[in-house]
Amino acid sequence: MIVCEWLVETIVCKSDYSYCGYSFTIETISNSKKVVFDIAKLKTKEELKKDKQDYERINICWIELKKSYRLSKYQRFVRLKESNRPRKAISNILNIPFWKLREYEEYYNGNTKPLTIKGYFHLRKFLTDEQIRRRYKIPRCEFNQFLKSVHSCSLPKIG
């Protein structure tokens, strides 16, 4: 899943015909500028409502893609969980079934057995990686990171 971070500046024409500018950093899952426009206008309206100001119109005057990066579904789950979103909302945003959501929650809460490098090498003799991952109930993306760290640590000895 690709996350894009945008810098957006808006100009507001107020009811008394004075102008005011706002600047926001917005993160989106898609690369759609229309979504960014909608979010920027919504955030500007919230700021104006908070300041109790009337306005005529909101214009987007600058939009810039600052950076984009990949996030796994589990990493996105962690972000949503930390922002105190309800379970159903998280499930809908990530498009994952309930059983997968429970797997993520159990791993996030630490209710699964920890997998050590020594334990991995022992189990690797008679189980596949997928069987080990399922036995320890580790999300696929986290298990792939574990495997990368294992392979980087277990370089062959010279001499």
Number of domains in the chain: 3
Contacts of 86 (CB under 8 A, 6+ apart): none
Compute the distance between CA of residue 96 and CA of residue 7 in angstroms, rounded to an integer: 30
| Range of the structural domain that residue 119 is part of | 112-154
Structural tokens at position 29: 């899952």
Contact 13, 55 (CB under 8 A): yes
In the predicted model, is pLDDT for residue 144 greater than 60?
yes
Q: Is residue 159 part of a domain?
A: no
pLDDT of residue 70: 86
Each residue of 83-104: pLDDT tens digit? 999 999 989 888 889 888 888 8
Residues 102, 121 within the same domain: no
Residue 39, exposed/middle/buried by CB under 10 A (0-12, 13-18, 19+)?
A: middle
Q: Which helix (H) or strand (E) holds 77?
A: helix 73-82
pLDDT value at 19 more than 70: yes
Query: Which residue's structure tokens are 């399922």?
Result: 134
pTM beyond cutoff 0.85: no
Q: Specify whether 12 is located in the same domain as 57.
A: yes
Beta strands in 15-73 (DSSP E): 19-28, 55-70
The tally of CA atoms less than 13 A away on the side-chain side of residue 146 is: 19
